[in-house]
Structure 1
Amino acid sequence: MRILILGGSGFVGRVLAEEAVAAGHRVTVFNRGRRDPVPGVTTLVGDRLTDPDFGSGTWDAVIDTWSAEASAVGTAAAALAGRAGHLTYVSSRSVYRWPGTARMTEDAPLADLDDPGYAGDKLRGERATAAFGGPVLFARAGLILGPHEDVGRLPWWLDRLRRGGPTLAPGPRDLPLQYIDVRDLALFILAAIGTTGPVNLVSPSGHTTMGELLDTAAEVTGGRAELRWTDPEPILAAGVAPWTDLPIWLPPGEGHDFMHRGDVSRALAAGLRCRPVRETVRDTWAWLRSLPGAAPKRSDRPAVGLDPATEARLLASAVSR
């Protein structure tokens, strides 16, 4: 197929381009040209916010990875109307109404359309795709991990565990996690070209646990870390913010249920396959080690990671008890 990827040089877009080229598709990417392109793609250089010029080409499918203000989604959709057979918009499970319920399906109530945050941006992005005038798939991804991650969640844990020594591990160990490897997300999206409607794209809840994730990451990074499992209560009492100070982790409760207990039966029935957590951790670590410098970080996301002094105080407190 002839595929146009809006983005194609960062995390999700880059892996989409890699997988599409590997599958033999003819891939064009549209971005600002600030990063080295994936080998084998054709690059259209432009800024969708100021110069959304896609040339005169036509495509079998367009994949839009935009994750900010939704007007850019609508502008691109309108410009590509009649020039592509299908549109996939990489959306988010954040479009569901908070706090929601466990096992939310694609039919769960949605956030308010005027929500000023990320959830509103993604929901307004979904609505803006109406300008395309053709079939649209809403790929509602959950937590995305894997090589090229530029938010820094799994990379932070891998770097911390590489340093070794006593390491705060937020419990409980058997806390179920739900995420998707970026390569599995890309493979599903490419295979689903032509289908329509929303689909939750994340692994089944409990695909791994907090214990398995950190045990695997500690082993892969050299086995120097001593995981000190700590109950959520003292962590929260110390002012540590789940998800940001301790990436990926959310304590049991509404937040955890919203993020890590979604229903994915539609995706599984449509062919979603999720690789083992060891493969995600191993390959992310190999990617990090291959970089000449620090891993790329998105400027539109908050920094993640626990302050070492706070970690030290929590570890000392646990010992004193």
Structure 2
Amino acid sequence: MRLLVLGGSEFVGRAVVTAALGRGWEVTVFNRGQHRPPPGVRALHGDRTAPDGLAALADGTEWDAVVDTWSAAPRAVRETARLLRDRAGRYAYVSSLSVYDWPRPAGFTEDEALVTGAAADAGPTEYAQDKRGGELAAVESFGADGSVLVRAGLILGPYENVGRLPWWLNRIARGGPVLAPGPQDLPVQFVDARDLAEWTLGAVERGLSGPYNLTAPPGHTTMGALLEACRRVTGSAAELRWTDPEVILAAGIEPWVQLPVWVPPGSESHDAVHRMDVSRAVATGLVCRPAEETVADTWRWLRETGDEASSRPARVVKGLDPDVEARVLGLPAGGS
């Protein structure tokens, strides 16, 4: 298989490249050249937002499939897909569950109502609208039968450039009392970027098309198991102090952002993020590794390379301020 990855040097794109190389595929990456891709690829450079930014792709080369992870204004997807529609067999666009309209019921499937996509000739708008616009742009050129829309949920794993799991690992490694958002048995759904990559490559290889919700099945792990795994892999003596959701919300702590991954049980947000139906993806080959493996490998990456979780500052999760954490736990400021 000859694969073109648009991006290919960070997080999900990097996982796709690594998985494709592991399958013995011939891989080309196209990006701005700001980060080094895995060895063994052909690298082309260009800026998809600039005039003539796609010039490096205009030489007539053909590929069996394209994987695109673009998250900003959908114009870039439209222009790239139009350029490649007669030179690539299939277009896989890594989208997001954010394309579903709000509120999303527990167990929502690919048939749930969608947001209105951003116009392809508009500048960047909201994340959800841009992602839906990207989907529409891919389908416009490759058709419903030639495009795969990977509607990913929460993505974790090595090279994460948003900072969710790295924040928890670094916080727990620091030790002391840790505000652990309860309840411990709260279900959590996420997909390891490497498992997303393997499914996506399998999808284009088998000629799948259409939208797929892509995250681990319900019951994959819990908030308690995830944080306990963080404690085990870091070797930390941190004390996880499980705290009721009501206490956390009353303190003005923002779920998901200040306490990454966590959203309170029974809320629309929990249903929307951690209760997605993924039976279609599972039926077509999705296999998810144990949560502890994701945690351990992410910690190993952080230890080997330093904290590289911040390559896109506007999207980086800051986590909980230590003084706020101490106040909620009844400790002196900086007491953790």
Which TM-score band (shorter chain)? over 0.9
Change (3 A) 1:35 1:250: same
Equivalent in the alignment of 2:54 = 52
2:176 matched residue in structure 1: 165
Q: How many residues align?
A: 318
Change (3 A) 1:214 1:6: same
> What is the SS of the residue equivalent to 1:133?
helix
Structure 1 runs (4+) deviating above 4 angstroms are: none
Aligned to 2:97: 93
Give me the whole-angstrom Cα distance separating, in 2, the residues matched to 1:279 and 1:230.
Answer: 26
The equivalent of 1:77 in structure 2 is 81
Correspondence list, 1:38-187, <5 A:
38-50=38-50, 51-53=53-55, 54-56=57-59, 57-113=61-117, 116-134=125-143, 135-187=146-198
Letter in 2 for 1:216: A
Task: Please give the per-residue CA displacement for 1:252-289, whole angstroms capped at 9, x wherever unaligned.
Answer: 11100110001001001001001001100000000000
Could you tell me how far apart the structure 1 residues matched to 2:137 and 2:287 are?
29
Report how far residue 293 of structure 1 moved.
5.4
- After superposition, the Cα gap between the structure-2 partners of 1:293 and 1:234, relative to the gap in structure 1 and judged at 3 Å, is closer
Conserved? CA contact 1:70–1:125, under 8 Å: yes
CA RMSD of aligned residues (A): 1.5
Corresponding residue for 1:209?
A: 222
Measured in 2, the distance between the counterparts of 1:13 and 1:239 equals 35
What is the DSSP-based 3-state SS (H/G/I as helix, E as strand, rest coil) of the residue aligned with 1:223? coil
**Gapped regions of structure 2 (runs ≥ 5):** 120-124, 332-336
Q: Which residue in 1 is equivalent to 2:20?
A: 20
Preserved CA contact (<8 Å) 1:152 1:297: no
Quote the Cα distance in structure 2 between the aligned partners of 1:179 and 1:294.
20
TM-score between the two structures when normalised by the length of structure 2:
0.92
What is the DSSP-based 3-state SS (H/G/I as helix, E as strand, rest coil) of the residue aligned with 1:192? helix
What displacement does 1:223 show? 2.7
CA contact (8 A) 2:161 2:316 kept: no
Q: What does the per-residue CA deviation read over 1:41-91, in whole Å, with 9 as the maximum and x for residues that have no partner?
A: 000011111112213211000000101111111111111110100000000
Q: Secondary structure at the match of 2:287?
A: coil
- Call closer, same or farther: CA 1:294–1:80 in 2, change over 3 Å: closer
- Distance in 1, matches of 2:101 and 2:306, equals 41
CA positional deviation for 1:129:
1.1
Contact 2:19 2:198 (8 Å CA) reproduced: yes
2:203 is aligned with what amino acid?
Answer: A
